[in-house]
Amino acid sequence: MSASTPRLRQGATLASAGFCISLGILAVVLAFVLFPEAFAPNALAQDVAHGGLPALSSGHPLGTDALGRDVLKLLIAGSRSALAGPLAIAAGSMAIGLLLGGIAGWYGGAADWIISRYADLTLSMPSLLLAIVAAGIIGGGYWVSVLIMVILYSPFDIRLVRSAVMQQKGMAYIESARLLGLGARRILVRHIFPNVTLVIFVNFFLNIAYGLVSMSSLSYLGLGVSPGAADWGRQISDGRALLFDNPACALSAGAAIIITAVAVNMVGRQIMERSL
């Protein structure tokens, strides 16, 4: 008895409107990531004489930062470092998840035990805290932080793939594929993975959203990106001192992060719900 009252259908319409808006937002952000120069040429050009101009100044719709750089251009240019890392994190974590989760789920036994304990252990580690400490002590740049995040995010994918594979393994159609005498690789690739791609894809999206937050948190603390680079987290911490002169500097970066993260999350969740 699937329920869809007028009330609930209204909710569904709202959700799909949100889904479309989120997709639109992501398309715009992606365009900024791919072609920053087209939308914001010379974003890093400084003009210290005109630092801290408030929003709606002539030629600077969002004003300028302390170094006199145009905030709108900075915002567009900053999208790249905001999203490149999270994409890499999500992709890397998915690759590890597919490999280790697939092995653990399909073969079980000792391999499963070792991989599961590894996942449990990494899962119990506070990832942002460790990333802060690691970035701080090792002093590595952006990609070192990305690597740490990949390692700390992967247990979620490992568990996801493992349980999806285990669930598939018990399905009658997998048992009958085994009775046909098909090999493990054919069953994994042709019969199991097509049925688990969806959950993995959804998790990929959610990983991007979480990665966005983690990476920008690091750059907010001044870790991972070099001073002066265009980056949303960086822009917030720099703009904080400018909160009286040009609040748009920090607030626009904050809004950009929140909106992008919400949009990615929304798309991921909607895909998940539609597919259930």
**Smallest distance from another protein to CB 50, Å:** 23
Chain centroid to CA 214: how far?
A: 9
- Is the distance from CB of 252 to CB of 71 less than 8 angstroms? yes
The distance of closest approach from Cβ of residue 73 to another protein in the complex, given in angstroms and rounded to an integer, is: 20
Asked if residue 269 binds another protein (CB under 8 A), the reply is yes
**Nearest C-alpha neighbor of 54 from the set 70, 38, 40:** 70
Residue 5 gets the label, from left (phi > 0), alpha (psi -120 to 50) or beta, of beta
Give whichever of 110 and 180 is closer to another protein, judged by the CB atom.
180
Which residue is associated with the tokens 């304990």? Answer: 117
Q: Segment 137-156, which members bind another protein (CB under 8 A)?
A: 137-139, 156
Which range in 25-33, 98-106, 107-115, 195-203 contacts another protein by CB under 8 A? Answer: 195-203
> How many CB atoms are located within 10 Å of the residue 93 CB?
25
Q: Is 90 in the site for another protein (CB under 8 A)?
A: no
When binding is defined by CB under 8 A, the residue of 135, 158, 242, 267 that contacts another protein is: 135
Is residue 3 part of the contact set for another protein (CB under 8 A)? yes
**Residue whose tokens read 């609040």:** 247
Spatial separation of the C-alpha atoms in residues 110 and 225, rounded to whole Å = 41
Residue 222 sits in the site that holds another protein (CB under 8 A):
yes
Does residue 216 interact with another protein by CB under 8 A? yes
Least distance in angstroms from the C-beta of 207 to another protein: 10
Closer Cβ to another protein, 103 or 250, answer by number = 250
Distance of closest approach, residue 114 Cβ to another protein, in angstroms? 14
Identity at 151, one-letter amino acid code: I
| Cα atoms in the Cβ-side hemisphere of radius 13 Å centred on 220 | 15
Per rule CB under 8 A, is residue 127 in the interface with another protein?
A: yes
